[in-house]
Amino acid sequence: MHKGFAFLIAVGLMMPHAAHALGERPWMLLNGVGGTYGMSDLNSEIDAFNAANAGTGLSFPHVDGGTSLGGAIGFETRGRWNIGLGIDRLQASTKAADASGSLEYRLGANAWRVFTEYALQPIGSSGIFVGGSLGFVQEKGHVIVSDPGYEPLKLGTSGNAPLFEGYAGGNWWLTPQFAVTGTAGYRLARLKEFKLEGTTFLMSNGEAMSLDFSGPTFRVGIKVASRSVSE
């Protein structure tokens, strides 16, 4: 299990008792997350590589977005404000291969966010909400070099940058404690540079390569809430 999701589950298990004591309703969310990215530096390098290797069959696809899993824990106050902590895994991969081997960039990042949402209807009643997040993206991936007959060489990537997000969404409560939920919004999250095994990754022009996870984003998932204090 991913360490980030394990952390959310551990906090979620401790939250109900504290929240109930304050008259608030805790909830947990598991969701799919996806969106588009603005990877201009990476894609320009891909274009240059593909042009230089035209006709060889060796080429990288662009990295324009990704889909993965996310999760969140939160609680709703009596005033219908929801406050919580979430993590999304932002996938960003591309690979080129031929008979001599392959080179794969798995440049995924963990997006940690603290969020505040205002719901027009309380937990248990279907309705819409608006929200905002702030946090950081933590680059955590690999560059993988594979040659026939040898174990793949995996080089770790690292780096971080601030994250900001605004979105709107809705909850469809199937029971007082179980809902289908979705959001759509926009994320700002751009690493000005990242490191490969501790060394800044440079483009062909000698400048540091940025990784830009900014762009429209969406989530669809299931939300489970605790019983109300009165139940």
C-beta atoms surrounding 192 within 10 Å: 12
Class of domain 3-225 (CATH, top level): mainly beta
How much is the pLDDT for 85?
A: 97
How long is the chain?
231
Residues 102-111 have a mean pLDDT of: 96
Structural domain boundaries in the chain: 3-225
Phi, psi torsion values for 15, nearest 5 degrees: -70, -40
Token match 């669809």: residue?
220
Question: What is the band of 23 on the pLDDT scale with cuts at 50, 70, 90?
Answer: low
User: Per DSSP, what are the bridge partners of residue 188?
Assistant: 164
What does the pLDDT read at residue 139? 98
Q: For 85-97, how does the pLDDT look when each residue is reduced to its tens digit (9 = 90+)?
A: 999 999 999 999 9
pLDDT at 36 over 60: yes
Burial of 13 (0-12, 13-18, 19+ CB in 10 A): exposed
Q: Is residue 17's pLDDT more than 70?
A: no
- Report the C-alpha dihedral over residues 46, 49, 50, 51, rounded to 10 degrees: 120
pTM of the model: 0.87
pLDDT at 1 over 50: no
SS3 221: strand
Lowest-pLDDT range of 10-14, 46-50, 149-153, 173-177: 10-14
